[in-house]
């Protein structure tokens, strides 16, 4: 009616939100929604979190809901798993997922396997979250991507967000899920602003675990990535578009369960596949995607072998020039696409 009278209706109010603030919103909303939810980890309370993800939450919810722990990943992960078995819904923050190696017995043997081993009688609704993969200048013991490691293990769900909407929607879904969920974030994305739709600003906004998103439509080649490399794929697609090559970019969002159907549908359309990840090549996420495509109906639509773009098969170097050459760059994706298309 207003449009008929000449009034222009305003578009939905999308805003710019950093990944850090999106994660903070998700934690705040879920702590408020469900009194069983609590956050624990190193420096998450009085210091507002090592990366300021939990900023303001300790002052708002107090010592029982936001808990600083000693520097003992095995200890506080075990406390969190026990609390989940007892009916609470802990969010366990690792300062970096490289340190989750100290607690991997709790993550795999205690959290991931218990529901199966108890014939479904004991649920473990826990979220393990924190930065994953390469940061900048922090060398080998802080730069490993664990997507393939944790994606390998039945009993876990594994999510890997790129944008602010991904971060908020997937974290809320993870907290509400009755299974253990590993949420692999990128430290280098925490301060990056993304557009957040009006829908995503709602307290009930949740992204289903196990559903990929097509970030850019294309017809010549399918690019599949997760976390920060999705942005590199978008940049590479923009470069290639100027040369007449239209890339379809798929943001995987979930590593386990993997939305292979979305990838298959895209490959059927484009007839070419390039996977991109920051992790090591051997037994990686890209290797799994390529195997699943080969074993499924989309294989018959490939006009060329699939190509993987990965991190270098070395422990992460400290020197910047070596680090840059160990992580997939936009130029590497452009080169891989041209190789796949034989141009």
26-37 per-position pLDDT tens digit = 999 999 999 999
pLDDT attached to residue 30: 98
pLDDT attached to residue 298: 97
Residue 343 contacts residue 247 (beta carbons within 8 Å) = no
Closest alpha carbon to 171 in 22, 14, 56, 59 = 22
Has residue 188 got a pLDDT over 70?
A: yes
| CATH 3.40.50.920 boundaries in the chain | 213-341
CA–CA dist 113, 110 (Å, integer):
6
pLDDT band at residue 13 using 50, 70 and 90 as cut-offs: confident
According to CATH, the topology of domain 17-200 is: Rossmann fold (3.40.50)
Has residue 287 got a pLDDT over 90?
A: yes
Ramachandran class of 193: left when φ > 0, alpha when ψ lies in -120 to 50, beta otherwise: beta
HSE-CB of 79 using CA atoms within 13 angstroms = 15
Taking only the tens place, the pLDDT of each residue in 105-115 is 999 999 999 99
pLDDT band at residue 10 using 50, 70 and 90 as cut-offs: low
Q: What are 292's two structure tokens?
A: 């699943």
CA–CA dist 213, 19 (Å, integer):
17
CA–CA dist 165, 10 (Å, integer):
22
Q: What is the mean pLDDT of residues 109-136?
A: 96
| CATH 3.40.50.970 boundaries in the chain | 17-200
CA–CA dist 175, 305 (Å, integer):
39
Q: What is the CATH number of domain 213-341?
A: 3.40.50.920
Pairing of strands 254-256, 157-159: antiparallel
The mean pLDDT value of the chain amounts to 95
Has residue 147 got a pLDDT over 60?
A: yes
Has residue 8 got a pLDDT over 80?
A: no
The percentage of residues in the chain with a pLDDT greater than 90, rounded to a whole number, is 94
* Active-site amino acid positions: 73, 142
pLDDT: which is higher, 12 or 151: 151
pLDDT band at residue 4 using 50, 70 and 90 as cut-offs: very low
For residue 212, CA distances in Å to 119, 161, 256 come to 30, 10, 11
Has residue 212 got a pLDDT over 50?
A: yes
């Amino acid at each position: 009616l207003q449009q008929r009278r000449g009034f222009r209706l305003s578009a939905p109010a999308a805003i710019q939100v950093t990944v850090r603030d999106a994660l903070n919103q998700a934690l705040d909303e879920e702590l408020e929604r469900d009194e069983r939810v609590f956050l624990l980890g190193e420096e998450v309370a009085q210091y507002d979190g090592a990366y300021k993800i939990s900023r303001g939450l300790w002052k708002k919810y107090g010592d029982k809901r936001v808990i600083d722990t000693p520097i003992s990943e095995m200890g506080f992960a075990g406390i969190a798993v026990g609390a989940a078995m007892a009916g609470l819904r802990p969010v366990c923050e690792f300062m970096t997922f490289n340190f989750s190696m100290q607690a991997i017995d709790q993550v795999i043997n205690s959290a991931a396997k218990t529901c199966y081993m108890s014939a479904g009688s004991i649920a473990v609704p826990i979220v393990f979250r924190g930065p994953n993969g390469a940061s900048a200048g922090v060398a080998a013991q802080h730069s490993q991507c664990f997507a393939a490691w944790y994606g390998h293990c039945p009993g876990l769900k594994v999510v890997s967000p790129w944008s602010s909407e991904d971060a908020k929607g997937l974290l809320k879904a993870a907290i509400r899920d009755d299974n253990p969920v590993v949420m692999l974030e990128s430290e280098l994305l925490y301060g990056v602003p993304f557009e957040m739709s009006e829908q995503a600003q709602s307290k009930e906004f949740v992204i289903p675990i196990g559903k990929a998103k097509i970030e850019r439509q294309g017809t010549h080649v399918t690019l599949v990535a997760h976390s920060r490399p999705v942005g590199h794929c978008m940049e590479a697609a923009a470069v290639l578009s100027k040369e007449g090559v239209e890339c379809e970019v798929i943001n995987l969002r979930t590593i386990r369960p993997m939305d292979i159907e979305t990838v298959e549908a895209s490959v059927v359309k484009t007839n070419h596949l390039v996977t991109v990840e920051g992790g090591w090549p051997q037994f990686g996420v890209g290797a799994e995607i390529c195997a699943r495509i080969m074993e499924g109906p989309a294989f018959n639509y490939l006009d060329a072998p699939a190509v993987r773009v990965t991190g270098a098969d070395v422990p992460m170097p400290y020197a910047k020039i070596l680090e840059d050459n160990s992580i997939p760059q936009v130029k590497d994706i452009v080169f891989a696409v041209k190789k796949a298309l034989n141009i």
